Amino acid sequence: MKKIFIILPLFLSGFLFSQKKPLKKPVKKTTVAKFNYHDEFKRISDEIMTNGTAYENLGELTKGIGPRFSATPGYMKAVEWTEKKLKSIGIDMIWRMEAKAPVWIRGRESLQIKAANGDWKTIRMLSFGNSEGTGGKDLTGEIVLINSTSELNAMSIKQLKDKIVFVNVPMDPKIINTSDSYLITAKSKLISASVIAKTGAKALIIRSLTTATDDTPHAKMVYYEPDDKIRIPALSIGVRSADELEQLLKNQKVTAKLNMTAQSKGDTTNPNIIAEIQGKKDSKVIVLGAQLDSWDFGEGAIDDGTGVAQCIEVLRTFKALGIENNHTIRVVLYANSENGGQGREMYAAYVKKKDEKHVFALGTDAGGYSPRGFSLDMPPQRRRQIFEWKNYFLPYGIYDFDQTEAIQDISPLKKLDIPLAELVVDTQRYFDYHHSEQDTFDKVNKRELLLGAVAMTQLIFMIDKNW
Amino acid sequence: MLGMAVFGQSKEDSIQFSKISTEILNNGKGYNELKDLTKNIGNRLSGTEAYEKSVKWAEQKLREAGADKVWLQEVMIPVWVRGKESLQIKTADGQWKKLKMLSLGNSEGTGGKDVTGEIIMVRSLEEYDRLPADQVKDKIVFFNYPFNQSHVQTFIAYREAGAYRRSAANLTAQKGGKFAIIRSLSSAFDDVPHTGNMRYDDNVSKVPAVTIGNTTADELETMLKNKKITAKLNSNCGMKGEKLSHSVIGEITGKKDQSVIVAGGHLDSWDVGEGAHDDGAGIVQSIEVLRTFKNLGIKNNHTIRVVCFANEENGTKGGKQYGKTAKESNEKHLFAIETDAGGFSPRGISLEMDDRNRNQIKSWVNLFLPYGVYNFEGKYSGSDIAPLHEMGVPTAELVPDPQRYFDIHHTEEDTFEKVNRRELLLGAAVMTQLIYMIDKNW
């Protein structure tokens, strides 16, 4: 999951759009008597739970291809694999949409620390995505611990100049929905390289944003304002190392030595993959999507191989059950979600330019866990329509329609007034593995994964019949 | 009633719910205790030394959690010993090939001798009913009924397939078969066999019953399409009489009266794996309830009692003894909740009680929703508290997400690693919240 925090550009484009007269179309009230929705829901569920291939597909994508970071051969292998899969389930409209992809190469990286008169000790680490490196040279400095925004604000420039800032803010365990606690921490200016670089610090070390209690580091995308001149190396360490470092710093000065060859090498292009079953009645589009890229380690299983496999499953099920779809059902698998977001911006720009009517967009990028609901980012009258379908969904464990934000790759479509929804899954396990080498196929349960695809197919079926 | 329902939605309760959840998610010990139980004691079938170790362990943990009183309740339990076991089939080239298998719990073995015969396969009980006895005589019956993956609620699929585990041996014996092989009650796509309890009917000969994993069952089915297959079983399992053992009980005495609210799970497990989800999770969650009442200094009106039941898996003697004792001592029980469906994210509470009580609990749904708990429609509660229910006590069971449980249930795969800390603790939080409400309102 790549959460989007860059409020300003979104706000700006929304502002520009609002200068035009928004198209307000009356909501069509369709009463369809020919479907028994309880039966249709069961038919979809039975097909997927007994014949679904999403799990086996995920196995191929994660074990056969593995990580598929933007601008790497792994990504292009994933593109070819996906096209082949889509063909094999009988989809003939498949095309690529090239998007800009930044080339960032992690290279070698190491972090060592030394307490007082001790020896250098190596600590597990991961550079932030798109971070500056040290040019392969040692960057050494004293570590300054910061636990809160008020501590940062109380520091004078002199206290931070040429220091290595260690921000040690844990995800708040008491928040039930871990996506919420993740967002709170991730939005903190404390872990922004842009903010820390302006203090004169030489590098930024953060405690990983994770619910796990082990020492696995979890990556994060670096963020700078467009006009930021100063850019510093930024990296994360696992929570165990973070706890140990905090302890050490209580009694003595600790020096860090950082060596990273990470560097950005301009841009290339990577394609989004688009596949669709054309509408029998019209060519309005219902779009569902997931991200095809992943980080450059682990296997990108829960983030977001599960989403890719689920989207393919939805199309397979429409085909297998011979459902006559009124509108075009389209899957978009986005490029460059993790370290740039160019794929989603490209798709939104395309829809705008072509003025292609989109009825609805659905995203799945929160791990392939047991589904619990849909987050609905749309006008109240649209929400109310979906609320009316609650009882059809309840036997499938889908009860939560109360969240109102879409934050995944479909979010740029919001400025085009397209109703958005995202699959809401159980959140307890996701941030144990998210953006880490632990994000592997064995963390995914077949029934949970399939049940998510069931809920998605059911919702798309309802939208297709009623909107 | 109306007054209570309104009262149930109060701000004060919502704050208390949050305090309970925060205490458990921040400071809960359940996960570390589960690690200790599963890794340092491991599996703990009734009658084993490991079970007796876990009795001492639970006693100590309840004391550490702050129970006012901890005691052991004597229970006579059946002793079943697995011993050595092997199942082989004769392949096309005449070689014997070993299959991965487990004898079902409480099954008799072959007394260490080879029992050989031809396999006949049936896919359903109906198909078996139609078979004339002379076709079954001296054969080995392979009941190949698959776990129905189309049920969203896996417990329904488990219950359906459960008929085969319970009755395979009896049915085989009735028609003169030598032993039964059943396909495991498993939602997994692997070859791990799942054991579980079976019972012999009176007046039938006690033929052995064994189980094989899904992959082996599929392979065997394919082989049987083309030719006759001979199987050979050699096993030493069997019942070895009875033994005195114990359930472990700890409580915080009620401040207002001595009527009892029970939270419990079962302390025993099968003799494979580590008994992590089944039911180490339930044990540590129940202890967590007690600890949380203590740590938050909640003044409980009634006695909050944790029962770690003995012998759920192959006899439910602990649950039966507890019910009997409660009845004999005429001890008033207000409510009992069991947690024995794995330490997964909670989704609801199943309520086995009259409509008046049920509706009152349902009126609290908005308090539970922020914790992911929405489903109060179930009407079943666990087997260890069934005797209490029969005495008229309102009973309930924690309903966690059911998708993963039957992948690992009753297998060597039921290990600590399969349990997620937050899921486990959230289940304990929900139990504590419910007990807080019951204690306050009943």
Band of pLDDT at residue B241, cut at 50, 70 and 90: very high
Domain that residue A19 falls in? 7-101+268-466
pLDDT at A30: 52
Same structural domain, A254 and A398: no
pLDDT at B3: 42
pLDDT at B368: 98
Percent of chain A whose predicted confidence (pLDDT) is above 70: 93
Last residue of a domain, one of A261, A284, A309: A261
pLDDT at B9: 59
Same structural domain, A381 and A275: yes
Q: What is the pLDDT of residues B49-78, one digit of tens each?
A: 999 999 999 999 999 999 999 999 999 999
pLDDT at A29 over 90: no
Q: What is the pLDDT of residues A271-319, one digit of tens each?
A: 999 999 999 999 999 999 999 999 999 999 999 999 999 999 999 999 9
pLDDT at B59: 98
CA-CA distance, A460 to B159, in Å (whole number)? 32
Question: CA torsion sign, A169 to A172 to A173 to A174?
Answer: positive
| Residue A1 domain flag | no
Specify the CATH number for the domain of residue A286: 3.40.630.10
pLDDT at A14 over 60: no
Bin B233: left if φ > 0, else alpha if -120 < ψ < 50, else beta.
beta
Same structural domain, A127 and A253: yes
Structure tokens at A36: 């028994």
pLDDT at A31: 52
CB contact under 8 A, B152 and A451: yes
Same structural domain, A165 and A236: yes
Mean pLDDT over all residues of chain A? Answer: 93
- Structurally, chain A folds into a number of domains equal to 2
| Residue A127 domain flag | yes
CB contact under 8 A, B404 and A432: no
pLDDT at A12 over 70: no
pLDDT at A194: 96
Same structural domain, A316 and A365: yes
CA-CA distance, B180 to B164, in Å (whole number)? 10
Last residue of a domain, one of A206, A231, A261: A261
| Residue A422 domain flag | yes
Same structural domain, A197 and A224: yes
CA-CA distance, B234 to B112, in Å (whole number)? 6
Q: What is the pLDDT of residues B314-359, one digit of tens each?
A: 999 999 999 999 999 999 999 999 999 999 999 999 999 999 999 9
Residues of A in contact with B22 (CB under 8 A): 174
Q: Which CATH number fits domain B2-79+241-441: 1.20.1060.10, 3.40.630.10, 3.40.50.11290, 2.30.42.10?
A: 3.40.630.10
Judge whether B347 is closer than 8 Å to chain A, CB to CB.
yes
pLDDT at A18 over 90: no
Q: What is the pLDDT of residues B155-183, one digit of tens each?
A: 999 999 999 999 999 999 999 999 999 99
Residue among A55, A397, A426 minimizing CB distance to B152 = A397
Percent of chain B whose predicted confidence (pLDDT) is above 70: 98
pLDDT at A8 over 80: no
Give the chain B residue nearest A443 (alpha carbons): B418
CB contact under 8 A, A426 and B370: no
At CB < 8 Å, which residues of chain A contact B?
A: 45-46, 49-50, 55, 173-174, 176, 178, 211, 213, 370, 372, 395-397, 399-400, 426, 428-429, 432, 445-448, 451
| Residue A2 domain flag | no
Q: What is the pLDDT of residues A429-453, one digit of tens each?
A: 999 999 999 999 999 999 999 999 9
CB contact under 8 A, B21 and A213: no
Mean pLDDT over all residues of chain B? Answer: 96
User: What is the CATH number that goes with domain B83-236?
Assistant: 3.50.30.30
pLDDT at B176: 97
Residues of B in contact with A455 (CB under 8 A): none
Same structural domain, A316 and A334: yes
| Residue A146 domain flag | yes
pLDDT at A9 over 60: no
Same structural domain, A282 and A224: no
Q: What is the pLDDT of residues B179-207, one digit of tens each?
A: 999 999 999 999 999 999 999 999 999 99
Same structural domain, A174 and A137: yes
pLDDT at A20 over 60: no
Q: For the residues B230-244, what does the mean pLDDT come to? A: 98
Specify the CATH number for the domain of residue A164: 3.50.30.30
Last residue of a domain, one of A207, A233, A261: A261
CA-CA distance, A278 to A285, in Å (whole number)? 9
| Residue A81 domain flag | yes
Q: What is the pLDDT of residues A337-363, one digit of tens each?
A: 999 999 999 999 999 999 999 999 999
Q: What is the pLDDT of residues A223-272, one digit of tens each?
A: 999 999 999 999 999 999 999 999 999 999 999 999 999 999 999 999 99
Same structural domain, A153 and A87: no
CA-CA distance, A103 to A90, in Å (whole number)? 34
Same structural domain, A393 and A409: yes
Which of B150, B214, B425 best tests the A interface by mutation, with the highest count of A CBs <10 A? Answer: B150
Exposure of B186 in the CB half-sphere (CA atoms within 13 A): 28
- Domain boundaries defined on chain B: 2-79+241-441, 83-236
Q: What is the pLDDT of residues A55-94, one digit of tens each?
A: 999 999 999 999 999 999 999 999 999 999 999 999 999 9
CA-CA distance, B137 to B99, in Å (whole number)? 23
Same structural domain, A187 and A285: no
Q: For the residues A174-192, what does the mean pLDDT come to? A: 95
- Confirm if B436 and B20 have CB atoms less than 8 A apart: yes
Band of pLDDT at residue B93, cut at 50, 70 and 90: confident
Band of pLDDT at residue A33, cut at 50, 70 and 90: low
Q: What is the pLDDT of residues A382-391, one digit of tens each?
A: 999 999 999 9
pLDDT at B385 over 80: yes
pTM for this one?
0.94
Residue among A395, A428, A446 minimizing CB distance to B189 = A446
